[in-house]
Structure 1
Amino acid sequence: MPAPKSERLLNLLIMLLVQRRPIAKDRIRELLYPDSRPDAFEKMFERDKDELRSLGVPVEVAQIDPLFDDEVGYRIPPDEFALPDVSLTPEEAAVVGLASRVWQQATMAQATTDAVRKLSAAGLDVDLTALEIAQPRLNADEPAFATCWEAVCDRTCIEFDYQRPNEPESRRRHVQPWGLVRTSGRWYLVGFDTDRDDERVFRLDRVTSAVRKVGPARSYDVPPDTDLRQTIERLAPVPAAERAVLLVRRGTGHSFRRRASRVEADVAGPDTRTGWDRVQLDRPARGFVDEVLYHGPDVVLLEPAALRAEIVGRLEAIAG
């Protein structure tokens, strides 16, 4: 029986990401699609590649041997998948965030382990350090997350009850889901609301019912050139920015330093292992909490108090 689509996509992403050189299509079939007929494999593989590319994953086609051009293979260049010189944030690469979350769940952790084990057992030269670009651990505890993610992959319409903050009761929504984005510590669903005949953004923790798939898979197309980040910015603008003050370990936190309005060097920090600088940002960017958490013990948020409390809460939840 073929693997579930979400598991298959994750396996394919991992396989192509850890390759030091392109891998041939017949090897991909042998390792990840072993029970499929040739014609079924061709269809599934093409669909899976298209799904990954639609989520922003740069699946590359290249010659397996530079001296011969008669056979091509596939891989995902880690340097193109990750953003240069900045921490990878969920809104910049949603699929990486999704993968980093689903690895923490039992079924997807097994899927990832199986994919890497198959590659190693087959004697392929893999680069497991490529997986470090998905290192940020993202929480996706909202019950709506799993079904929405599956619907995004399958392009299946969904329905759910949703409560806006300014309304006393929930309302049923019918949506063609385009993608999931994590920003400002929250997961958002971006899609087309068929009742309102317009694109909409939904915060997953405001979904008050189970999410149900409606109708067949691949029943709609995501508009070409859709940019989920721009849609979030346009339909769910960032609240008025507060000033943020951080302690940043010397030699780290360059993304904060580039945006700083003030940097005070050689201040007292939480340890004496290295020097520390105090960095002030007048306009924290969207996804600021995730960016701070990504830096681990090298960055400590002092202000504002509300965001500091959120960071402490999330760290306590992980420790628990």
Structure 2
Amino acid sequence: MSVARAERLVNLVLCLLSTRQYLTADHIRSLVAGYSDAPTDEAFFRMFERDKAELRELGVPLEVGRNWSFDTVDGYRIARRDYELGDIDLEPDEAAAVGLAVRLWDSPELTGAAAGALLKLRAAGVDVDQGVPAVVEPKVRTTEPAFGPLLAAVQAGRAVSFDYRRPNPTELRRRTLEPWGVVSWRGRWYVVGHDRDRDAPRCFRLSRIVGEVEAFGRAGVVRRPPDVDLLTFVSHSSDEPPDTSTVRLWLARNRAAGLRRRATIVGEQTIDGVPGDVVELEVWYADSAASWIAGYGEDAVVLEPEVLRKSVHERLLAVVGSTVVGSTEGGR
């Protein structure tokens, strides 16, 4: 939308909100800045019709009526009781949960939506505390390349196609899906929808999608059935056993309590002059475990296996690199 049209729509809303009477199109033309630019009456009415349709699509309750029985032309207004947001009363724990949810998403696609929701609540007078204690630091990571395109397709109601790799056999197969939603289950992301090739509901793991996700078709065609619970569907459809394995870690003495709660101490060891405990821990998924362990920084060191050790090391290097880049840009 152009800046001029956006300003005209705002002016139109303010004009219709500030009156109790129905204003005719000609009256609106003389009051709202932007309509005077229309060279002819026909051009104005086309512009006005587009603006009315835009307001209705945005959910603005545009009323049509006449002030007197002898009026021959319809007028327009916006009733404040229908337009203004009602009082929002959140309990302290509910407000804290909203603030926590904003910090939950580690994804550009969802961070903007969460921040926008927080801004709307604050504008409505709701005191949302985003300063949740650092003891709770949740993250839902959406590093899969297919996440963004699939989420956009779900929101737009469009079908998608992609190449999908099954663990056995290993060849790629082209899938055509009407996506209903994207959910996380046991540390992995899945897209759920109607598989056109099989003519049945199916779920696909995002990490096995190879290449680009291509959306096609008209928007609004794909709709999620109201009786489908996506998370329940994934939990019942996923028959893959978790990739469990036992890892050996070094944990600094009296540190990394989250890891210790699920670990068994099997010995003691000093690394770089720092005393600590050697523990064994059973993990399900290597990718999720690497991010989890890396979150404890220098308080946790992977001893075995070597693959997990390298994965944690790479994540720590990535954090250091992003910190250095941020500090350099901030000093410019």
Task: State the secondary structure of the residue aligned to 1:149.
Answer: helix
Does the 8 Å contact 1:249/1:277 carry over to 2?
Answer: yes
Q: Which amino acid in structure 2 is aligned with residue 290 of structure 1?
A: S
Where do residues 163-312 of structure 1 align in structure 2 (5 Å cutoff)? Answer: 163-165=165-167, 166-181=169-184, 187-196=189-198, 197-217=200-220, 219-221=222-224, 224=227, 226=229, 228=231, 231=234, 234-235=237-238, 237-260=240-263, 262-264=264-266, 267-269=269-271, 272=274, 276-281=276-281, 283-286=282-285, 287-312=288-313
- Structure 1 window deviating more from structure 2 (299-308 vs 244-253): it is 244-253
Counterpart CA distance in 2 for 1:200 and 1:183 is 14
Counterpart CA distance in 2 for 1:222 and 1:244 is 42
Counterpart CA distance in 1 for 2:240 and 2:99 is 25
Identify which of 106, 110, 114 aligns with 1:100: 106
Counterpart CA distance in 1 for 2:211 and 2:87 is 51
Q: Which amino acid in structure 2 is aligned with residue 221 of structure 1?
A: R
Aligned to 2:74: none
Distance apart, 1:188 and its partner CA:
3.8
Where do residues 41-120 of structure 1 align in structure 2 (5 Å cutoff)? Answer: 41=59, 71-73=87-89, 77=94, 80=97, 99-102=105-108
Distance 1:114 1:303, change over 3 A: same
Identify which of 162, 171, 178 aligns with 1:160: 162
Task: State the secondary structure of the residue aligned to 2:143.
Answer: coil
Task: State the secondary structure of the residue aligned to 2:245.
Answer: coil
- Structure 1 window deviating more from structure 2 (218-227 vs 117-126): it is 117-126
CA deviations over 1:93-147 (Å, ceiling 9, x no partner): 9x966x31218xxxx77787888789889997553324965664846262x2211
Task: State the secondary structure of the residue aligned to 1:175.
Answer: strand
Distance apart, 1:276 and its partner CA:
2.7
Task: State the secondary structure of the residue aligned to 2:107.
Answer: helix
Aligned Cα root-mean-square deviation (Å):
4.5
Distance 1:120 1:179, change over 3 A: closer
Q: Which runs of 5+ in 1 are unaligned?
A: 3-35, 44-69, 84-92
Distance 1:316 1:221, change over 3 A: same
Q: Which fold has the larger relative contact order, with Cα–Cα distance below 8 Å and residues 6 or more apart in sequence?
A: 1
Does the 8 Å contact 1:264/1:279 carry over to 2?
Answer: yes
Counterpart CA distance in 2 for 1:158 and 1:78 is 37
Distance 1:121 1:161, change over 3 A: same
Q: Percent identity?
A: 24
Distance apart, 1:304 and its partner CA:
1.9
Taking structure 1 as the reference length, what is the TM-score of the superposition?
Answer: 0.56
Counterpart CA distance in 2 for 1:42 and 1:279 is 60
CA deviations over 1:27-54 (Å, ceiling 9, x no partner): xxxxxxxxx95983479xxxxxxxxxxx
Aligned to 2:315: 314
Aligned residues: 240
Moved over 6 A (4+): 108-124
Counterpart CA distance in 1 for 2:232 and 2:302 is 25
Counterpart CA distance in 2 for 1:100 and 1:173 is 28
Task: State the secondary structure of the residue aligned to 1:73.
Answer: coil
Taking structure 2 as the reference length, what is the TM-score of the superposition?
Answer: 0.54
- Structure 1 window deviating more from structure 2 (237-246 vs 74-83): it is 74-83
Distance apart, 1:205 and its partner CA:
5.0
Counterpart CA distance in 2 for 1:248 and 1:220 is 49
